[in-house]
Amino acid sequence: MPASLGSLTPDPALADLLIGNASSFRPDLQMAEGFGRHIIIHHVAIAIELALKAYLARAGIDDDRQRQLIGHDLDRALKFAEAHGLVAPPRTRDVVELVHPYFMQGGFHREKRSWPGDITPVALDVIDELITAASQV
C-alpha cells in the first residue's frame, strides 16, 4: 500500500453509488445470448472495475485518489483492493487477466478475439462476490 494515501475516510455513499452502477453493468446469461460476446465481456470489465472501486471507497480511498492511482486499470484496482483487505473471490485474477489488456487498450471497440466459452458464468460469480465484498467492508 503506497504511503501517499494518507488518512483514509470511508465514503459509504460513493461505495453504494458504485455498487449500484456495478450491478447495472452486470450482464446476465440471457443478455449473453442476445449480444455479441465482446459486449458481454466489456460489461464484465466495467462491472468489475466499479465493484473494486466501491470496495476501495468503503475502505477510505476517495474518488479523486482512485482516478489518480487506478484510472481504469483493473489489475491495479484489484491489487489496491487486496492491499486494503479484499479477499478476492476464486478466479478473480483469471477474469481480470483475461479482460484487463483489452479494457486498457480500448480493445472492446474491435470485435476480433475469441473468449473462452465458460468465462461468462465464472465472471458473473466474480462480479456478484465483489459486489458482496464491497457491501460488507
Does residue 2 lie within any of the structural domains? no
**Residue 3 covered by a domain:** no
With helix as H, strand as E and coil as C, how does the chain read? CCHHHCCCCCCHHHHHHHHHHHHHHCCCHHHHHHCCHHHHHHHHHHHHHHHHHHHHHHHCCCHHHHHHHCCCCHHHHHHHHHHCCCCCCCCHHHHHHHHHHHHHCCHHHCCCCCCCCCHHHHHHHHHHHHHHHHHHC
Confidence bin at 16 (pLDDT 50/70/90)? very high
Single pTM value for the model:
0.87
Range of the domain at 116: 9-136
Average pLDDT over every residue of 33-43: 74
- State how far the alpha carbon of 37 is from the alpha carbons of 31, 40, 115, 118, in Å: 10, 5, 7, 11
Q: Is residue 4 part of a domain?
A: no
What is the number of structural domains in the chain?
A: 1
Mean pLDDT of 69-91: 94
